Amino acid sequence: MSSNQTDVVFFDENGLRTDQRKPDEIRPMKIKIGVLSRANGSCYLEWGGNKVIAAVYGPREAHPRRMQLAGKAVIRYRYNMQSFSVEDRARPGPSRRSSEISKVSREAFEPVLFAEDYPKAAIDIFVEVLQADAGTRTAAINAASLALVDAGIPMRGLVSACAAGKVGGKIVLDLNKPEDNYGEADLPIAMTEDGKITLIQMDGHLTPSEFEEAMALVQQGCRQVLEIQKAALLEKFASVMDDEEDEV
Ligand code: CDP
């Protein structure tokens, strides 16, 4: 986020963005559920230029034992960026940024998981960013949500994530890399199916009315993502559902 780049052109004469999107349009998303045979659940997701893979394990006995909680499962979320995922090499291992993203992403899932049903267990969510192009934390959450379903872990509903932001004085949905780099604000959120916000972060500056506008837009974005997630689940599990219906 840099406010000194006023010379960057974000919109063409038709009001379209550098990647030809309308201000309220998200980047194309591709999803494949169940891509890893060793994980209990997994999902590969592309969103614009982002490529992420999520793997879920559990509920399983939490190790090391000192991490066990007597009355509920411990939920662990690890967001990791591969060194080759960015333009400049990302330094391997945890960073302040990845620790922060892991923490807020874990908290984004806590309200939808039934941790109290699994004392002493762990639910482990790992997300690897293979290619980063702005919006990796939201892409990671969207993939993790589907990997949790693939793992058969009961949930109150899906979690969907998206960002809105301000570029060239306008509020837009799902910032791409130049918009993220040179825009004025970035507002990623995660939301449950029933509209509860489980993650909200903000980088940059928005006036109260711009914030309202961005919040309305980003919630619309999450609903668009939710529809794509549901379609991917249907594609993956429709045949299973058909088989079950045949058995009745
Ligand atoms: O990826 P996200 O938008 O959730 O997080 P960010 O911290 O706002 O980063 C925005 C983008 O900057 C990332 O998606 C990467 O494309 C890039 N980035 C990078 O090139 N090197 C890093 N160490 C971190 C981020």
- pLDDT (tens digit, 9 = 90+) per residue, 195-218? 999 999 999 999 999 999 999 999
Specify the residue with its C-alpha closest to ligand 1, atom 3: 135
Contact indicator for 97, 201 with CB cutoff of 8 Å: no
- pLDDT (tens digit, 9 = 90+) per residue, 42-65? 999 999 999 999 999 999 999 999
Find out whether the beta carbon of 132 lies less than 6 Å from any atom of ligand 1: yes
What's the confidence (pLDDT) of residue 247?
Answer: 75
Judged against a pLDDT cut of 60, whether residue 2 lies above it is answered with no
Per DSSP, 174 falls in state S
What's the confidence (pLDDT) of residue 146?
Answer: 98
Find out whether the beta carbon of 133 lies less than 6 Å from any atom of ligand 1: yes
In the block, tokens 């130049």 appear at: 178
Q: Tell me what percent of the residues of the chain surpass a pLDDT of 90.
A: 92
The two structure tokens encoding residue 152: 């058969």
Judged against a pLDDT cut of 60, whether residue 11 lies above it is answered with yes
| Residues forming a β-bridge with 80 | 128
Helix 136-150 / helix 96-109 crossing angle, nearest 10 deg: 40
Distance 155 CA to ligand 1 centre (A): 29
Give me the chain's average pLDDT, please: 95
Confidence band of 240 (pLDDT split at 50, 70, 90)? confident
User: Which atom of ligand 1 is found nearest the CA of 137?
Assistant: 4
Q: Which residues contact 97 (CB under 8 A, 6 or more apart)?
A: none
Confidence band of 242 (pLDDT split at 50, 70, 90)? confident
| Domains of the chain with bracketed CATH | 29-241 (3.30.230.70)
Tell me the best of 86, 102, 179, 184 to mutate to test the pocket of ligand 1, counting ligand atoms within 8 Å of each CB and taking the most: 86
Say how far apart CA 147 and CA 46 lie, in whole Å: 14
Q: ipTM above 0.90?
A: yes
Tell me the best of 97, 180, 202 to mutate to test the pocket of ligand 1, counting ligand atoms within 8 Å of each CB and taking the most: 180
